[in-house]
Amino acid sequence: MDKHVLIVDDDAKISKLIEIYLQNEGFTVTKASDGLEALERLEQESVDLIILDVMMPGLDGIGVCIKIRETQTTPILMLSAKDGDMDKINGLMTGADDYMVKPFNPLELIARVKSLLRRSSYQSQPVNTGSEFEIKVGPLQLDKETHTATVDGRPLKLTPIEFGILYLLASYPGRVFSSEEIFELIWKDKYFESNNSVTVHISRLRDKLEKEMDGEKLIRTVWGVGYKLEN
C-alpha cells in the first residue's frame, strides 16, 4: 500500500510502535515529535493521512489540527490519553476525522487508518464524464467520483467523512437517517449509544453549508429520530 502517513507524538515509544505496525502494512512513515515540527513536515512533504496526538508540549494536537484544516482536508486520526466525551468532541470539532483513546490496540488503529484512506482515495480517482455519481440539490452539487462539492459553482471544502454524510443524505432527500444508521453506513463500524461522532460531524457540516448558502439550513434535525436533507 503506497501511502504516506505522518505520526505526530512526543512519546517516542508510542510513535515507534505505530511506525512498526504501519511499515509492516507497507506504509511510508514520517514522524514528528511536536506540533511545530509536524507543520514543518507538512510544508516539506505530501502525506495521505496524519495520526495526531492531542497532548503535546508547545503547540498541542488541537492547535495543529486547526492549522491544518485552514488549508488541507488530509484525513486526521487523533489520539488522546483522555477518554471524556468533551475531549472527543473538541477533537472532532476542530476537524479530526476519527478519534482513539490511549492505550489502544495497534491492529484497531491500522484498521481505522485503512478505513479513512479508503474514503479519501476517491479524491484521486478520474472524473466521471457521466451523471451517474452526481447529485444536485438546489445550489448544492456533489460528485462522488471526485469527492467534490460545490455551492453555486463555488468549491465547498469537506473532509472525507463530511462528504460521505452529505452524499448519503443528498442521495435520499427527505428521508430521515438516525445517528446509528449514518455511523454504520459511513464509518462501517458498529454504533455505540455514547458515540458523539455523527452529531459533531453534522454540526461542522451545517456550519460550512450555511456559511456558503447565506444561512440557508439544508440539513434538518428531526428530534428524537435523526437527520434529513431538505428537498
**For the chain, which residues make up each domain, given as ranges?**
4-123, 125-229
Equal fold, 4-123 vs 125-229: no
Q: Any long-range contacts for 79-87 (C-beta under 8 Å, 24+ apart)?
A: 79/9, 79/14, 79/51, 79/52, 79/53, 79/54, 79/104, 80/53, 80/54, 80/55, 81/54, 81/55, 82/54, 82/55, 85/194, 85/196, 87/54
Confidence of residue 136 (pLDDT cuts 50, 70, 90): confident
Cell reading at 23: 511499515
Q: Using the predicted structure, report yes or no on whether residue 122 has a pLDDT greater than 50.
A: no
Q: What does the alpha-carbon distance between residue 11 and residue 8 come to, in Å, rounded to a whole number?
A: 9
125-229 folds as: Arc Repressor Mutant, subunit A (1.10.10)
Q: Report the percentage of the chain scoring pLDDT > 90.
A: 36
For domain 4-123, the question of CATH label 3.30.1300.10 is answered with: no
pLDDT value at residue 185: 84
Q: Has this prediction a pTM greater than 0.75?
A: no
